Amino acid sequence: MENAGAEGVPPEFIRPKNEQPRFTTFQGPAPLPVPVVNLRVAETEKLVKEVVEASSKLGLFQVVNHGIPSEVIENLQRVGRQFFELPVEEKKAYAKDPESKSIEGYGSKLRNRWVDHLYTKIWPPSAIDYRFWPKNPPDYREVTEDYAKHLHEVVNKLLSCLSMGLGLGAEELKAAVGGEELVYNMKINYYPPCPRPDLVLGVPAHSDLCAFTVLIPNQVPGLQVFRDGHWYDVAYIPNALIIHIGDQIEILSNGTYKAVLHRSVVNKESTRMSWPVFMEPPPDLEVGPHPKLVNQQNPPKYKTKKYGDYAYCKLNKIPQ
């Protein structure tokens, strides 16, 4: 492979030419305009319209005035950073169980991606397995539970807007993705500095297989979205939440909302971190185009299948 082993990058991390950021990142003067939605808008109709427009065109938007205090976000970032700065042996105490089908736990540089990560379920309380929650820093649990509690309100508001935007009742889309059994699966991504960020990817191109994702980044840019044949950087807005529409919301909306194709790039000097929370239906829940959105004129464009089966097929590259 060309440039294999370039400047301290192990050959297995170097992406094919058609994926390398040096050839594929948009270099023009105008960045991609990513919609910014103010959740504190007084008129529900206006808010719904903005969420619908962003979700049906780009499938990604940033949310401001979301009601999560800045100190809650800063604390979440602090405890995540402190965990990843621990010695490797201490982090390995939370390693994924190789015998389990669960993705929970700590992993390092898996599948040739320039990223370490920690997966933990943070909501509902019945889904949480505290074995994978770090005990160091000592306030990790308290801080993460505080964030989950605040996030719950934002998720319900977004689901309500997405539901009304389809002409459904405010609670119908939430019910269709699992209601109070919707699982919040948090992944902390830790992308260390890389000597050749133009050759590698933190996470390659994908859409999220869940319903949707709420992501907090740190100030080091790295999220890119695909549009019109190019990869565009997503600008950092302090304390904003970045919302990705995922596959299950695209399916439920019968294609009205679009799951966003995105990837992560890395940085030469600085560590990038992000805190995506994937909103996942229960594995046995059947998800398909919502019955109220299909008829003879608008037939279903997607199959109905259990979320667990959908996830298995996608993760193993089996056609749906």
Is 284 labeled as catalytic in the residue annotation?
no
Is 66 labeled as catalytic in the residue annotation?
no
Q: Which of 66, 116, 208, 290 is catalytic?
A: 208
CA distance 307 to 177: 9
Q: Which of 66, 174, 187, 244 is catalytic?
A: 187
Sign, Cα dihedral of 12, 233, 74, 259: negative
Give the position of tokens 């042996």.
89
φ, ψ (nearest 5 deg) of residue 121: -80, 130
CA distance 162 to 183: 18
Q: Which of 206, 230, 305, 314 is catalytic?
A: 206
Is 206 labeled as catalytic in the residue annotation?
yes
Q: What does the DSSP assignment read for 248-280? A: HHHHHTTTSS-PPPEEE---SSS-EEEEEEEEE
Is 208 labeled as catalytic in the residue annotation?
yes
* Residue 26 identity: F
CA distance 10 to 92: 22
The residues annotated as belonging to the active site are 187, 206, 208, 262
